[in-house]
Structure 1
């Protein structure tokens, strides 16, 4: 996309926030925002499990410790999370920004490398698409990935990557 000043890029909402909390409240906030990995032990087995946060479901680019860029379609979802009274006091600032195609490509790559839970365990989304493409249409993991791709198709940043993933599923 090109702006009136001739600059090329992709529109994003840049959201900065200043959380006035410390300690456990701050840890809880960042865990619910970004998600976190935990280790679970059962007998002699150890599993590393990812618990998703709000940004796990939204393509984003971290521009600073408390600054993220998200697609305009996802801004309201993130602002709803940030306006939750349990995070008070918090200051939130939102501006429109223009990201380079390289920045958006990096955000899409990071998004497709995030884990999703299939019946066989957690795998990156890109690997899950390849794995379920060989299964029949009635497979629960395949239906899950298809529904997930349908939901992700609403983000302008992901439209092309979702189209390619759906093509891979239909082969």
Structure 2
């Protein structure tokens, strides 16, 4: 029997499982991007996280920035969608949506950021030449692509941080 002939609930249950996340690319006028240090990882991240049930990616980015940094943010345009394949640890494929989180100077960040102490231990506005040392390789590639999208007024599609046909954005 074809799965398309199943009742809707059975058909939907037969579909592949994927997860989704969203984040905000908060940046300053010098091209630095705000990174956060999770308490549960050795590498840095951008503010963001997984979608809750019934939540859209834009709302997720807004909620995660509020939870993690204490900042009310209205995310701007979509900069990138990054498809991350299934991981060896069993994590299913992930669609990650990255939005322009706006400009925040070092002084404004110091005044406005209030880290969630249960989740984050530090924040920094990091220069592009620091990203490879601080982030997982696919995250560094993702930030470089988002930085170019910010500068060019474009939106990019990535696969694990790479442009799918060119190897980079």
Instruction: Give the TM bin, normalised by the shorter chain.
Output: under 0.3
Higher helix share: 1
Higher relative contact order (CA 8 A, sep 6+): 2
TM-score (norm 2): 0.24
TM-score (norm 1): 0.23
Find the structure with the greater CA-based Rg.
1
